[in-house]
Amino acid sequence: MNRLNLQNPTNLAFTVLLFSSFLFCLYLVIPATSPKSLEQTISPEQVISEEQRTPSYEQFAEPVAIKEVKQEVKPVVQQLELETQQQPGQRQVNALAFDQADYGKQKVHYTDKVIVLAYHHIDEKENGITISPKRFKSHLQRLKKEDYNVISMEHFLHFMKGEAKVPQNAVVITFDDGYESFYTHAYPELLNFGFHATKFIVVDSIDHPKAPRLTWDQMREMKQNGMSFYSHTYDHHDKVKAGSGNTLMPMLTNPIYLENEKRIETDDEYRKRIKQDLLKAENRIEEELGPQYRLLAFPFGSYNETVIGVGKEVGIELFFTTKEGINTIGSNEIYRIHAGTSYMSEDDLMWRMKLYHKK
């Protein structure tokens, strides 16, 4: 056992040095962590102008140890906030100013394309749409290790519209449905990696929860830290009778059979119903989270020409399907890889993503 002997001059000098370093750190840290000084050092306006001069997405590739060093994470948080909360025009400036040189040392799997991953629920008990926190973490670790670059949904949107470049090996992480596990399990891990992610919420299930769902407060907090929330319809994540038989079909993509009148909705009634639903979802999200882009993930991955037409009428810019593939500029129908399922080991995920590197 090596005990510290203060009578030994070397140990004494070392102890004094250690103690004075500690005092010096306190001198630096205490003013930096007081709310007043934070306010003074990084006002939103300052961050905006700083950001417009020297924008970079590089820092998202670095792990963000938010729990240990809160004061150092603050600028990153501010930048994430800018990306998700600025008005569309301002956000465009950031996305357009992306610098490819930041990614020079990485392996290049693909360029000018984006893989979008789809998850649902995180829980110890895994199934077809549920993976354990451990499995989720292994996916994130592997994405980072293999030089994939996780970008924000807003950056992706600008890329798809031809307004921004993306880094090589760009990936977007999405979650469907409003499970609270996004807040309790996914979000802390995403913060540790400095990754953005998007959650598509069924708005009615947030307004009137019957099971553990995210709250608007949780979403506001997460939005401040780089997560984003978009529509998975207001209350059309359901199946209904679409004919006089008993077959149940997704209600966003099928005219409903009106039991009382013994007839199917007319085309006009169908269009009106889905338009009301999509608009209601957008309005509620904007009421709670502020102005933002309009994006839609199709319930059950089901869609048709009418849904896309009506969606465009209400201002929806991207439509997220469950078709597997990689996304290239110009399309508004987004392919996704179903990553959040119990059979998807990190190796399987890498193999699956590799299938699309050359497509």
Interface with Zn ion by CB under 5 A: which residues? 176-177
CB closer to Zn ion out of 169 and 322: 322
Q: One-letter amino acid identity for 284?
A: R
- Residue 202 CB, shortest distance to Zn ion, in Å, is 7
Token pair for 224: 């401040």
Question: Judged by CB, which is closer to Zn ion: 177, or 204?
Answer: 177
> 79-106: buried (b, 16+ CB within 10 Å) or exposed (e) per residue?
bbbbbbbbeeeebbebbebbeeeebeee
- Report, in Å, the least distance between residue 180 CB and Zn ion: 15
Q: How far apart are CA 347 and CA 141, in angstroms?
A: 12
When the beta carbons of 201 and 353 are compared against Zn ion, the nearer one is 201
Smaller CB distance to Zn ion: residue 51 or 126? Answer: 126
Closer CB to Zn ion, 167 or 340, in the complex: 340
Distance separating alpha carbons of residues 297 and 322, to the nearest angstrom: 9
Distance CA 169, CA 107 (A): 9
- If you write DSSP's letter for every residue of 119-171 in order, what string do you get? E-EE-SS-BTTEE-HHHHHHHHHHHHHTT-EE--HHHHHHHHTTS----TTEE
CB of 141 to Zn ion, least distance (A): 26
The CB density around residue 152, as the number of other CB atoms within 10 Å, is 25
- Our CB check for Zn ion shows the closer of 73 and 201 to be 201
Got the DSSP string for 67-81?
A: TT-HHHHHHHHHHHH
Q: Which residue is at the shortest CB distance from Zn ion? A: 176
Q: How far is the CB of 247 from Zn ion (least distance, A)?
A: 20
Burial degree of 235 (CB within 10 A; 0-12, 13-18, 19+): middle
Nearer to Zn ion, 159 or 320 (CB): 320
- H/E element, 240: strand 239-241
Q: 88-96 vs 70-85: helix axis angle to the nearest 10? A: 110
CA distance 81 to 69: 18
Return the number of the residue (154 or 177) whose C-beta is nearest Zn ion.
177
57/51 Cα distance (integer angstroms): 11
Query: Could you tell me the smallest distance in angstroms from the CB atom of residue 143 to Zn ion?
Result: 23
Give the nearest distance from C-beta 125 to Zn ion in angstroms.
19
Least Å distance, CB 301 to Zn ion, is 8
CB of 272 to Zn ion, least distance (A): 23
